[in-house]
Structure formats: structure tokens, C-alpha cells
Amino acid sequence: QVQLQESGPGLVKASETLSLTCTISGAYISGYYWSWIRQSPGKGLEWIGYIYYSGSTNSNPSLKSRVTMSFDRSKNQISLNLKSLTAADTAVYYCARESGGYFDGSGLYMSGWFDPWGQGTLVTVSS
């Protein structure tokens, strides 16, 4: 049974960088795409980006300039860094495994559906 657990600071200051980690058990990072998704009252569910064990990443154009993702194979973890935080980044952040992804006509990987999800971690950005 695959389980994911997010961890990180619950409170961060505006203009700083958020760092989150997702620890995966029951499956190896290798061979799957892993995504970060956030949920806020104002914007609902928003896909942040994915990482593949090869190091390939892609992120939502709305966040691309502020997002960095990485992984630690030895710890079976993926990580998310989001810089230049504002109050609009206050949300519950989830990590999730992707399934059903595919390559489009130009060879770009397209994310599929998400299953399972971690329990989520609430991040509040304070001024």
C-alpha cells in the first residue's frame, strides 16, 4: 500500500522560500511521476508541478518562475521549493502519485490523474 507524508513548516514569512518534503512508503520513486498540488479557499485545487526520477520536471505556468522540485532516492523523498511567498500561497499542500500520464504529439509528458495523495500539510504565509 502506497503512502505519502508531507512535512514542512506550518508558518512562513512573506517573501521567503517554502520548503516541503514528501516521504513515500510502499513504492519506489523510480518509475513513477510525482506531483505537488495545493488547495486554498480562494483558488481551490491547483496543480503545482511534477517530478520524475530521471530529474525531469514541469510546473504550472502560473508558478513556474518560483518553483523548484527535486528528489532524494536514498530517502525515497521528493521536495518542493516555492520562493517569493505571498499571502496568496497560503494553502494545504499535497503530494500525490500520478497515473495515466502520456506523451503528447510533441513528446511532452502530460500528467494524468492523482492517486494516492498524502494527507496534506497546511502552510500559512504571514506578513
Interaction site with another protein (CB under 8 A): 44-47, 58, 60-62, 94, 99-101, 108, 110-120
Strand pairing category for 44-52 and 57-59 = antiparallel
CA atoms of 41 and 69, how far apart (whole Å): 24
Closest to another protein by CB, 57 vs 60, is 60
Closest to another protein by CB, 16 vs 57, is 57
Q: How far is the CB of 56 from another protein (least distance, A)?
A: 14
Our CA angle for 91, 96, 97, nearest 5°, is: 165
Q: Does residue 59 contact residue 108 with C-beta atoms inside 8 Å?
A: no
Strand pairing category for 121-126 and 11-13 = parallel
DSSP for 17-66, written as a single string:
-EEEEEEEESS-STT-EEEEEEEETTTEEEEEEEEETTS-EEE-TTTGGG
Q: How far is the CB of 127 from another protein (least distance, A)?
A: 27
Closest to another protein by CB, 8 vs 101, is 101
Closest to another protein by CB, 12 vs 67, is 67
